[in-house]
């Protein structure tokens, strides 16, 4: 059995049939079905967008009038669509002020950023948290008041500090593990709903 077949499951096959660029689309779809994050006309930032299924999903839900900006180290070459703009960058060294000026206010910031895993759990958790923390810093800077933030995190030391930080900046905080997350994976998603205004007023 080839390596790619080993990882194939019904989500992989369904994604191929339904012409999504990756099976991970079903994670976002499940979360979005429940929390209604992506709306028509929405302005979305998708951090770690390659190969593009989350952006593809957002473009389809936000049209007409929506706008999706994707950021990744790698260009999603199979995603060409009106309403999509790609910024090739390393999120960890991305200048937030510059990004903010480039893309303006966003309704939703998504991060499916994931490090290439080493198999050493402590190192992988720590690199995932570094990415998630940067995603949050970007979110806090570009989100409009009451905007939403979703980010992937690997379960482990330090994740609870990030959870507390999100809880203090958003009116509601949820931890979600969609059914499409593979059983053996440590990944989960932190969801901040309705960002409080910078003065810290919760409503």
Ligand X SMILES: C[S@@+](CC[C@H](N)C(=O)[O-])C[C@H]1O[C@@H](n2cnc3c(N)ncnc32)[C@H](O)[C@@H]1O
Of the residues 27, 61, 134, 152, which is catalytic? Answer: 152
What sign for the dihedral angle of Cα 67, 54, 57, 151?
A: negative
Q: Count CB neighbours of 174 within 10 A.
A: 15
Q: How far apart are CA 152 and CA 112, in angstroms?
A: 5
Shortest Cβ distance from residue 52 to ligand X (Å)? 5
Nearer to ligand X, 113 or 191 (CB): 113
Judge whether 152 counts as a catalytic residue.
Answer: yes
4, containing H or E segment: helix 3-6
Shortest Cβ distance from residue 202 to ligand X (Å)? 30
Nearer to ligand X, 48 or 192 (CB): 48
Which tokens hold the place of 86? Answer: 């790609």
Preceding peptide of 181 cis, ω within 30° = no
- Strand 187-195 and strand 170-176: the pairing is antiparallel
Shortest Cβ distance from residue 46 to ligand X (Å)? 7
Which residues sit at the interface with ligand X, rule CB under 6 A? Answer: 21-22, 24-25, 48-54, 72-74, 90-92, 112-115, 131
Shortest Cβ distance from residue 113 to ligand X (Å)? 5
Q: Count CB neighbours of 46 within 10 A.
A: 31
The closest of 3, 42, 43, 49 to 22, measured between CA atoms, is 49
Nearer to ligand X, 133 or 146 (CB): 133
The partner residues of 190 in beta bridges, in order of sequence, read 151, 175
Shortest Cβ distance from residue 201 to ligand X (Å)? 32
Nearer to ligand X, 53 or 67 (CB): 53
Which tokens hold the place of 4? Answer: 């790619």
Nearer to ligand X, 63 or 89 (CB): 89
Which tokens hold the place of 64? Answer: 């007409």
Active-site annotation, residues? 152
């Amino acid at each position: 059995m080839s390596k790619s077949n080993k990882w194939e499951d019904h989500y992989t096959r369904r994604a191929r049939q339904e012409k999504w660029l990756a099976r991970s689309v079903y994670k976002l779809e499940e979360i979005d079905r429940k929390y209604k994050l992506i709306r028509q006309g929405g302005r979305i930032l998708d951090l770690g967008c390659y190969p593009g299924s989350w952006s593809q999903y957002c473009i389809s839900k936000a049209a007409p009038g929506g706008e999706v900006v994707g950021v990744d180290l790698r260009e999603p070459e199979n995603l060409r669509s009106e309403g999509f703009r790609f910024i090739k960058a390393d999120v960890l060294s991305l200048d937030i002020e510059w990004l903010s000026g480039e893309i303006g206010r966003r309704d939703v910031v998504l991060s499916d950023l994931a490090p290439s895993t080493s198999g050493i759990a402590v190192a992988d958790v720590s690199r995932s948290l570094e990415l998630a923390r940067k995603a949050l810093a970007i979110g806090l800077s570009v989100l409009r008041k009451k905007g939403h933030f979703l980010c992937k995190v690997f379960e482990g030391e330090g994740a609870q500090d990030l959870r507390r930080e999100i809880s203090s900046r958003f009116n509601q905080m949820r931890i979600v593990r969609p059914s499409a997350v593979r059983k053996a994976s440590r990944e989960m998603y932190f969801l901040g709903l309705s960002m409080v205004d910078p003065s810290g007023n919760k409503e």
